[in-house]
Every structure is written in structure tokens, then in C-alpha cells.
Amino acid sequence: MQTVKTVAELRAIVKTWRTEGRSIAFVPTMGNLHAGHLKLVEAAQVWAERTVVSIFVNPAQFGPGEDYENYPRTEAEDRQKLADAGVDALFLPEVAEMYGENVNTVITVKALANLHCGQYRPGHFDGVATVVGKLFNLVQPDAAFFGEKDYQQLAIIRTMARDLNMPVVIKSVSTVRESDGLAMSSRNGYLTPEQRQIAPKLYQTLCQARAGLQAGQKPYASIEQEAIVNLQKAGFQVDYFTICRASDLLPAGQDDRNMIILAAAKLGNTRLIDNISAI
């Protein structure tokens, strides 16, 4: 595995592969890799002849008081995992390499960026879209792979790629879960042992809400409210629990069929997100 830290080095590798006619897949990450990330890598390797993984903790997507400084960084372990997985290139830039001085350009995906997590983390998705757009320009992948746990992020990146005519296929990979149902996340490491026992209730509540939908329970607002109350009783501070149309993440109506349930809630200082398809 080649490990590079500069734009020039990355572009040289990509140029060589393009000259050879190789297909390229890309997996952007913020490191602290777990089985969910490695599943993305595996899917990318099946899809393309060459795979690039980036590790970059992007300051632009963290707001004031969030965990940028303390976000878990495990570079040595991550590099070993990627090498063992057979990744072709790891892009490991510093902040100064990704963001030069006097950067004035920000990518905003209107409407979508202000829903759900966007209400609680202003500017977060602008930071996500901007850095992913930059990485797409650098790697020039044929396909890029993202996990479905961050469903709103996935929708925003798909919209950005479509609207800006980016020549990249956005591929999604299903959420990888612990044996008790908790969606794998780098932030799970923040949970205390007691909180870790409570955390799976988020997914359990999503499953219960989906069962209510499939049983024809109405109105949807009652399903949402019941879920919120149950999570609060378990010790969560709920940001939202919403039944949405999968197409645009707006509130689902009684006649909608392709739906997804999105949820975000805190246990102590740890914010967990999850979702479940409700088709």
C-alpha cells in the first residue's frame, strides 16, 4: 500500500493508473477504522481495479463545542488495517494540505443540508460536501463508497454529485452493526459501559416504529412521539425521530410508500445517529 500525504503525490498515482486504464474506487473516512469502514473497502475492491482510502478529520464539519480536537485518531492502527485489507493507496493529508490560505469556496446542498442533523449542527453538511467535493477532484474516482448509517450525508453527496455533474457513481453499503444491533461508529468509543448497554435501544426503537408502520398504525406523528418518549425514558436526549420520504427526506405522508425513519439522540455527551428503511 502506498501512503501519500500531499496532493501532488496523490495526483501522480492517479495519473499513472489512468494511463494504465485502471478503474478507481474511493472510500473517504475520518479514520478510527472499524468493521463498517472495512466493509466499504471490500465493496470498493470488488467494484474497481484500484482502491484509494482517505483519512482526514475535517475541521470544516465540526461546529463550536463539538469534538474535533478529541475526535479519535488511530493512524498507526488504521494504516495496518488498510494494508492488511490490500488497499492500493492511502491519502493522509494534513489540514494545511487540504485547505490553503484564504479559502472562500463552500459547497452547499440547499434544503437537504438544513433538515434533521442540519438543524442541530449548522454548517456541518457544508463542511462535508466541500471536503468530499475536493476529494473527488483529487482522486477522480469512477465510484465512491459511503455507509448507509449516515443516510442524510449519503443523500447530500448523491445530490451534490448529480447537480455538479461529477463523473462519479455514488455507491452505498448497508450499516454494519454490533451483535446487539448498535450501528458501528467511531463515536461509540465515547460511551461509558453503562451507556453502551443502553445505546442499542436506539435501533430497537427504530425497529418498533417500522413494525408500527407495517401494521398500518396511523397517524405517523403518534409513532414518532411514542418512540421519542420511549427513548427519553431510556435516558436519551432526542434531537429527532422522523418518518421521511426516502427520496427527499421530507416528512412522509400517509400515501407514501418508500420511506425511511431517521433518528439522532444523545447519551450523555455522545450523539448517536441511525436509520431504518420502512418500505
Active-site residue numbers? 37
> Is 170 within 8 Å of 144 (Cβ atoms)?
yes
Q: Tell me the H-state helices in 99-219.
A: 117-120, 124-139, 151-163, 193-198, 201-214
Distance CA 66, CA 62 (A): 6
Residue 277, CA distances (Å) to 5, 8, 67, 148, 259 in order: 38, 41, 29, 10, 6
Instruction: Let me know the angle formed at the C-alpha of 275 by 274 and 276, rounded to the nearest 5 degrees.
Output: 140
DSSP code of residue 150? S
Q: Does 219 sit behind a cis peptide bond, omega within 30 degrees of 0 on the bond before it? A: yes
> Is 171 within 8 Å of 47 (Cβ atoms)?
yes
**What cell does 260 get?**
425511511
Q: What is the largest CA-CA distance in the chain?
A: 59
Distance CA 197, CA 63 (A): 28
The strand pair at 259-267 and 50-55 is best described as unpaired
